[in-house]
């Protein structure tokens, strides 16, 4: 008697389905009258949109968060943001460790895939550090926010501070302060600095944190050349992040300097901090201190590029990721210079890394292109606004040129699917839906040169 083959999901498919299950569960809760500020149930499609944008830590909203949702609804949104930022696999693994349950091989594989790690060594400690580090940073951020929000909102300022800190660290960009995001605090140094630091720390990635701490602890007081002893991944992530933020801020400052609708009428200091914040928030955070539709076309183009690149791997940010783009650029330069391989900081980049970078970029751009075409086919939105919207959704940024609230049913569905695909990761999606490995074929296919360029 022939036994039926047992159906089993791959670890990547489990991760994809866990996000989907979280979104659907959240949408049901948000569709309850209890979640609405008025007591009348929000239409399910809007509840699904909100659950998706929260779990995918994007920030695009069809309805104003502050006036649409009750405290219960806001709590559901906050939980979804935290789950989306850390990942359901991480949270479930953390609960297992909290209950003194050992992580099995299946659990370790799930965590390894969820964080795209190269080894299963020390995963239990890694999960503990991620959860502990996240709570500490979010707690500090909330405490600092309270200096502004408690005097302004009273006791409610505590809840606003906690919500904003979690949302900023998870790069969600959702707030419960006002319908115009953080525009009322565009020139508040504390709000700008705290929010920017939370966004950057979340976007740098956990493995960069631990690498920096490892080097700091191992260096003697007389030898503090920290950067020199970091891993290649950390060097790339830190360097590219700093370069993009600085270059982005300078370009936005130049392009918006005389624009009265944004920073044109501000003092020099305020122009600098608003430009800096715009550059930081486009790295998949989604908070806005200026209306995005008021930006010049040049600034909007810069913002689109920053959104496409996004943050760094193994963090809360989205986008193609800094390391991916750095590998692609170096590989292209190596080809132009007729070099055998790409190198960064004196280290050769593996061929496997280049292949993964190409796969991520192609899949990411394909999702952006498809969603842009579909959105433009069903709306009368200007091309720039449509591209801004779809790039923001794919890169899980959350910035919009005021297009999201005007989306029709089909447009909302397009953005919902785009946010989901953008969050679960282009490479994870390709692996989960792809066919079996073809490397087992005994006879390899013949090779033939083709014309490129």
Higher-confidence residue of 247 and 205: namely 247
Rounded Cα distance, 254 and 298, in Å: 10
CA–CA distance, 252 with 241 (Å, rounded to integer): 16
Helix (H, G, I), strand (E, B) or coil at 423: helix
What are 343's strand-pairing partners?
348
> Residue 351 CB: number of other CB atoms within 10 A?
11
In our burial notation (b when 16+ CB lie closer than 10 A, e otherwise), range 269-289 reads ebbebbbbbbbbbbbbbbbbb
d(CA 101, CA 228): 39
36 forms beta bridges with 69
Tokens of 191: 């709000």
Straight-line distance from the first to the last Cα atom of the chain, in angstroms, rounded to the nearest whole number? 57
Instruction: Identify the H or E element spanning 136.
Output: helix 123-153
Annotated domain spans of the chain: 11-216+227-430
In the chain, the percentage of residues whose pLDDT exceeds 90 is: 57
Query: What is the rounded CA–CA span in Å between residue 315 and residue 200?
Result: 10
Provide the b/e sequence for 112-126 (b: ≥16 CB within 10 Å).
bbbbebeeeeebbeb
The pLDDT tens digits for 355-379 are 888 888 998 999 999 999 999 998 8
Which is nearest to 47 in space by CA: 17, 70, 16, 18? 70
Give yes or no for a contact between 399 and 279, defined as CB atoms under 8 angstroms apart. Answer: no
| Predicted confidence (pLDDT) at residue 224 exceeds the cutoff of 80 | no
pLDDT category at 435 given cuts 50, 70, 90 is: very low
pLDDT tens figures, 279-292: 999 988 889 999 99
pLDDT of residue 8: 65
Give the pair of three-digit tokens for residue 48: 């699904």
Dihedral (Cα; 306, 307, 313, 314), 10-degree rounding: 130
Mean pLDDT confidence for 324-352: 88
CB 201 within 8 A of CB 133: no
Residue-wise pLDDT tens digits, 402-432: 999 999 999 999 999 999 998 887 666 655 5
Nearest to 395 by CA among 320, 288, 325: 320
User: What pLDDT, on the 0 to 100 scale, is given for residue 399?
Assistant: 95
pLDDT above 80 for 351: yes
Reported confidence tier of residue 307, pLDDT bands at 50, 70, 90: very high
Weakest mean pLDDT among 20-34, 145-159, 327-341: 327-341
pLDDT in the model for residue 132: 86
Of the candidates 108, 116, 117, 13, the residue with the CA atom closest to the CA atom of residue 434: 13
pLDDT of residue 100: 60
Model pLDDT for residues 126-159, shown as the tens digit of each residue: 777 788 888 999 999 999 999 999 999 999 999 9
pLDDT value for 353: 84
- Pick 7 or 263 by higher pLDDT: 263
How confident is the model over 59-85, as a mean pLDDT?
A: 94
Q: For residue 314, is it left (φ>0), alpha (ψ between -120 and 50) or beta? A: left
Q: What is the full DSSP assignment across 97-126? A: HHTTPPP-HHHHHHHHHHTT-S--TTHHHH
What span, in angstroms and rounded, lies between the C-alpha atoms of 221 and 244?
A: 31
CA 54 remoteness from chain centre: 11
Least confident of 5-14, 166-175, 362-371, 378-387: 5-14
The answer, yes or no, to whether residue 387 has pLDDT greater than 80, is yes
- For residues 339 and 342, give the distance between their C-alpha atoms in angstroms, rounded to a whole number: 7
- Binning pLDDT at 50, 70 and 90, where does residue 256 land? very high
Rounded CA separation 44/130 (Å): 34
pLDDT digits (tens, 9 = 90+) for 37-58: 999 999 999 999 999 999 999 9
Q: What is the mean pLDDT of the chain?
A: 86
Helical H segments across 395-440, by residue range: 409-424, 426-433
CA angle 274, 279, 285 (to 5 degrees): 105
Percent of the chain with pLDDT over 70: 82
Higher pLDDT, 335 or 93: 335
Residue 324 and residue 360 in contact, taking contact as beta carbons nearer than 8 Å: yes
Run of H or E residues at 14: helix 11-30
Query: Token pair of 383, please?
Result: 């091309």
Q: Tell me the chain's radius of gyration from C-alpha atoms.
A: 22
Average pLDDT over residues 297-324: 91
pLDDT at position 321 over 80:
yes
pLDDT band with cut points at 50, 70 and 90 for residue 313: confident
Looking at residue 86, its pLDDT comes to 80
Helices marked H in 229-350 — which ranges?
A: 232-256, 268-281, 297-309, 322-336
Cα separation, 247 vs 254, in Å, equals 11
């Amino acid at each position: 008697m022939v036994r039926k083959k047992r159906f089993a999901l791959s670890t990547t498919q489990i991760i994809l389905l866990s996000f989907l299950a979280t979104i659907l569960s959240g949408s049901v809760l948000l569709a309850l009258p209890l979640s609405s500020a008025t007591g009348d149930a929000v239409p399910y499609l809007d509840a699904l949109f909100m659950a998706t944008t929260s779990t995918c830590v994007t920030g695009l909203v069809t309805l104003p968060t502050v006036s649409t949702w009750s405290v219960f609804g806001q709590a559901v949104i906050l939980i979804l943001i935290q789950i989306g930022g850390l990942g359901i696999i991480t949270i479930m693994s953390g609960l297992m460790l909290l209950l003194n349950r050992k992580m099995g091989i299946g659990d370790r594989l799930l965590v390894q895939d969820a964080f795209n790690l190269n080894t299963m060594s020390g995963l239990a400690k890694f999960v503990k550090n991620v959860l502990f580090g996240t709570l500490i940073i979010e707690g500090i951020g909330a405490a600092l926010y309270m200096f502004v929000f408690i005097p302004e909102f009273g006791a409610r300022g505590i809840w606003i501070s906690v919500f904003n800190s979690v949302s900023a660290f998870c790069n969600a960009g959702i707030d419960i302060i006002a319908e115009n995001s953080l525009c009322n605090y565009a020139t508040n140094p504390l709000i700008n600095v705290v929010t920017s630091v939370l966004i950057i720390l979340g976007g740098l990635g956990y493995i960069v944190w631990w690498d920096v701490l490892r080097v700091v602890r191992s260096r003697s007081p007389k030898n503090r050349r920290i950067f020199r002893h970091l891993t290649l991944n950390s060097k790339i992530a830190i360097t590219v992040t700093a370069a993009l933020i600085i270059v982005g801020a300078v370009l936005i400052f130049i392009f918006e300097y005389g624009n009265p609708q944004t920073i044109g009428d501000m003092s020099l200091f305020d122009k600098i901090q608003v430009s800096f914040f715009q550059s930081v928030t486009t790295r998949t955070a989604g908070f806005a201190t200026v209306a995005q539709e008021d930006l010049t076309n040049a600034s909007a183009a810069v913002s689109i590029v920053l959104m496409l690149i996004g943050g760094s791997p193994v963090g809360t940010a989205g986008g193609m990721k800094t390391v991916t783009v750095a590998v692609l650029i170096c590989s292209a330069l190596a080809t132009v210079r007729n070099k055998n391989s790409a190198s960064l900081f004196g280290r050769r980049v593996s061929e496997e890394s280049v292949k993964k970078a190409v796969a991520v970029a192609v899949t990411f751009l394909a999702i952006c292109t498809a969603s842009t075409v579909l959105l433009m086919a069903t709306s009368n939105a200007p091309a720039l606004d449509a591209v801004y919207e779809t790039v923001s959704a794919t890169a899980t940024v959350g910035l919009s040129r005021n297009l999201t609230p005007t989306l029709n049913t089909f447009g909302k569905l397009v953005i919902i699917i785009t946010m989901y695909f953008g969050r679960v990761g282009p490479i994870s999606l390709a692996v989960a839906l792809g066919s079996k490995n073809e490397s087992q074929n005994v006879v390899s296919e013949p090779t033939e040169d083709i014309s490129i360029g």
